[in-house]
Chain A
Amino acid sequence: MESAFIVSFLEWAAQFQTLALIPPAIIYFLAALTVLWSSHRVGRVVMFAMPFLTVFQLVVMVAVQPNVTLALLDMSLVILRVDALSLLFALLFNIAALIGVIYAMHVRDRLQSVSAMCYVGSALGAVFAGDLLTLFIFWELLALSSVGFIWARRQPESMGAGMRYLLVQVVSGLLLLAGALYLYGQTGSLLFNHIGLDGPAGWLILIAFGIKCGFPLLHGWITEAYPAATEAGAVFMAAITTKVAVYALARGFQGEELLVYIGVTMTCFPIFYAVIENDLRRVLAYSMINQLGFMVCGIGVGTTLAVNGAVAHAFNDVIFKGLLFMSMGAVLMQTGRINGSELGGLYRTMPKTTVLCIVGAMSISAFPLLSGFVSKAMIVTAVLEEHYEWVWLALLFASAGVFHHAGIKIPYFAFFAHDSGLRPSEPPTNVLIAMSIAAVLCIGIGIYPTLLYQMLPFDMDYTPYDATHVLAQLQLLWFSALAFVWLNLRGWYPPELPSVNLDVDWIYRKVVPRSTAALLPHLSKIGERSALYIGDGLYRIGVLVARGLVTMVGQTTSIRLMAIYLLIVLMLYLSLDALIVLLH
């Protein structure tokens, strides 16, 4: 009965087959143009309609299975490759877009609206890309479009933070391009399928994906950019960039054992930082790396159950992490503060936000009956099935830890703990609606996981709800909570302190600018001496490079910003040139 309905629905949808041939990215870019030139009212309607239009388009794609290729020089670029994996991520990004658009409905800021449309479009372009060159183009567009969310905050530090974010992302793109070209030279094909780590090309591409995915030591941008973005911007960014990377890893590096160990490191190290971090959105950024770790681990294990688990967890993470970012965004919106040391006691005047935040917090902690449980259980089970015993123990540690910092710390320090004296009102209705949609999805998928399971790339037979799993998870979480209570009652829990903690971004925010400044006098001396013989060109270049380095990584003024921007575009241009030369 149900399947007959689906079949006839798909037959009906198939008559719109031309719609399936237009890349969703293009439609989103057109929407961005419309938003740019139209009034706010029209722009809002367009943005709200986009996810619905695109989801309908996805349905048509399921019916007609298009494969759109485009000839460029003597290569064919696969613009649209439609399969279960790309469809699932495309659906996910549209859900995230809908929630994000509703959340930002009250914001009158064209920069953010245009960024959002371009950003979601680029993400859809990337997941449907069937070759590495198309992937590269959308990979870079993702970076360029999302930096608007950081600049739109319009704080003194936003410019510098945005530049650093952009640089890291562009470097990731260039590595991807280099890897793709290398691969093309070796195999004569740019098709994006399993890549593996057999040669330098694989490594280059893995590092490119790893930067976007927040691999250890490459993760600095996550914890810097997300807290620097606007309230709504962080919601969009948290949903998309890293999940595109997870998609790319699942496509290209499934079953690479190295990823198991990278993943497990990612689950463990950020939770230490999260416990002592004061900025609650940065706590969420650390917890994002932790959740990404579970996904990377699943992809590394590579069995059907593990990869399904990784993809399902990516799906759920977008929704519950989105919910948490939305609730912290609501706190920031209503109080202008986000540091745990300045918040507390907000439940009195923001009860709805409090409850919605707790739903997100319980989801991320993987409480049974909530979405995190049904996907994390798959990964943990798969890890144990493949006899990674130490990895399993580390994942248990990380599971307990995530409950500690994201599950308890976020709601506790924002809404309870000591009374900060702040009495903010609830956020606007549209914000509450967006959070409620996410909360309903968290609970819906948690109670009825088949909803999500039937969309996963591989067929499998798995039930998360058996007595053993549920009891084990409840015991683990309950006693983690007990530890929190005990430490708090003893006064041993580290208090929230106004501070920053050194992480890898220290290298490019402090060490590089400082050492450049220290080297400068010597540099100019060398310049002066060489000037006598060669001319003062070298000296000028020396000073310019030094200034450029410092401005790039340190504080930024508007004129210098333009110079750096030019530099980036130039690099992009040169690399594309190299590509064309290579192809001929």
Chain B
Amino acid sequence: MSKPTVPTAVQRLLYVFYGLAACLVFADVLIHRHVSHPAESWFAFYPLFGFVACVVLVFAATAMRRIVMRPQDYYDELADVEKTLDEVPLDSGSISPHDEDRS
């Protein structure tokens, strides 16, 4: 897949976005946390967790497509099953118990 080109205005927004991300990581140093779990006190635990979780999520979901993805009309194909059923007569046709009775 080719890399999408980014318009300048969006690029500027992205710089602001990256800047804020950096500030949030830096805030880890400034703000004292009241942690309930030891992992929370690791430096940049939440930013790393959020980033890695999402990358793993997206890669796993993309891989999942190979197994579960089907064409849009996948569930529309039942018409033929219905047709087969309609062709089966409700009366049992040639072999009928009534014939047996008569014979």
**A residues in contact (CB < 8 Å) with B:** 157, 271-273, 275-276, 381, 384-385, 389, 392, 396-397, 400-401, 404, 466-468, 471-495, 497-503, 509-510, 513-514, 516-517, 520, 524, 527-528, 531-532, 534-536, 539-540, 543-544, 546-547, 550-551, 554-555
CA distance A513 to B48 in the complex (A): 47
Q: Tell me the nearest residue of chain B to A505, going by C-beta.
A: B75
Least distance between A391 CB and chain B CB atoms (Å): 12
Contact residues of B: prevailing secondary structure: helix
Contact B97 A531 (CB under 8 A): yes
Contact A475 B47 (CB under 8 A): yes
**Residues in chain A near residue B36, CB distance under 8 A:** 381, 384-385
**Residues in chain B near residue A488, CB distance under 8 A:** 4
- 6 residue pairs A–B, Cβ–Cβ below 8 Å: A475-B46, A477-B50, A494-B62, A494-B65, A517-B81, A555-B82
Partner of B58, one of A385, A494, A531: A494
**Residues in chain B near residue A491, CB distance under 8 A:** 1-4
**Residues in chain B near residue A531, CB distance under 8 A:** 92, 95-97
**Residues in chain B near residue A547, CB distance under 8 A:** 85
**B residues in contact (CB < 8 Å) with A:** 1-4, 6, 14, 17-18, 20-21, 24-25, 27-28, 31-37, 40, 44, 46-55, 57-62, 64-65, 67-72, 74-76, 78-79, 81-82, 84-85, 88, 90-92, 95-98, 100
Contact A489 B81 (CB under 8 A): no
Least distance between A486 CB and chain B CB atoms (Å): 8
**Residues in chain B near residue A520, CB distance under 8 A:** 84-85, 88
Partner of B57, one of A272, A476, A478, A497: A272
CA distance A503 to B76 in the complex (A): 16
CA distance A485 to B91 in the complex (A): 64
Given contacts A487-B58, A499-B72, contact A396 B79 (CB under 8 A): no
**Residues in chain A near residue B52, CB distance under 8 A:** 483
Between A and B, how many residue pairs show CB distances below 8 Å? Answer: 206
CA distance A528 to B95 in the complex (A): 7
Contact B92 A276 (CB under 8 A): no
**Residues in chain A near residue B58, CB distance under 8 A:** 275, 404, 483, 487, 492-494
Least distance between A132 CB and chain B CB atoms (Å): 36
Q: Chain A CB within 10 Å — which of B14, B32, B67, B72 has the most?
A: B72
Least distance between A576 CB and chain B CB atoms (Å): 31
Contact A478 B74 (CB under 8 A): no
CA distance A486 to B71 in the complex (A): 29
Contact residues of A: prevailing secondary structure: helix
Q: Tell me the nearest residue of chain B to A408, going by C-beta.
A: B54
**Residues in chain A near residue B95, CB distance under 8 A:** 528, 531-532
Partner of B97, one of A389, A493, A524, A536: A536
Partner of B92, one of A397, A492, A497, A536: A536
Q: Tell me the nearest residue of chain B to A524, going by C-beta.
A: B88
Contact A389 B37 (CB under 8 A): yes
Contact B88 A482 (CB under 8 A): no
For the complex of A and B, the 5 pairs showing the least CB-CB separation, nearest first, are: A483-B54, A479-B50, A491-B1, A275-B61, A475-B46
**Residues in chain B near residue A485, CB distance under 8 A:** 14, 17
**Residues in chain B near residue A273, CB distance under 8 A:** 61, 64, 68
Given contacts A494-B65, A554-B81, 20 further A-B contacts (CB under 8 A): A400-B50, A467-B31, A471-B46, A475-B25, A476-B49, A478-B21, A479-B49, A482-B17, A485-B14, A489-B3, A491-B1, A494-B61, A497-B69, A498-B72, A499-B72, A500-B71, A520-B88, A540-B91, A550-B78, A550-B82
Given contacts A491-B1, A491-B4, contact A475 B50 (CB under 8 A): yes
CA distance A493 to B40 in the complex (A): 29
CA distance A389 to B38 in the complex (A): 11
Contact B1 A471 (CB under 8 A): no
Given contacts A478-B24, A550-B85, contact A503 B65 (CB under 8 A): no
CA distance A471 to B29 in the complex (A): 11
CA distance A489 to B3 in the complex (A): 6
**Residues in chain B near residue A475, CB distance under 8 A:** 24-25, 27-28, 44, 46-47, 50
CA distance A513 to B32 in the complex (A): 60
CA distance A427 to B37 in the complex (A): 47
**Residues in chain B near residue A490, CB distance under 8 A:** 3
Contact B21 A499 (CB under 8 A): no
**Residues in chain B near residue A389, CB distance under 8 A:** 37
**Residues in chain B near residue A493, CB distance under 8 A:** 58
Least distance between A270 CB and chain B CB atoms (Å): 11
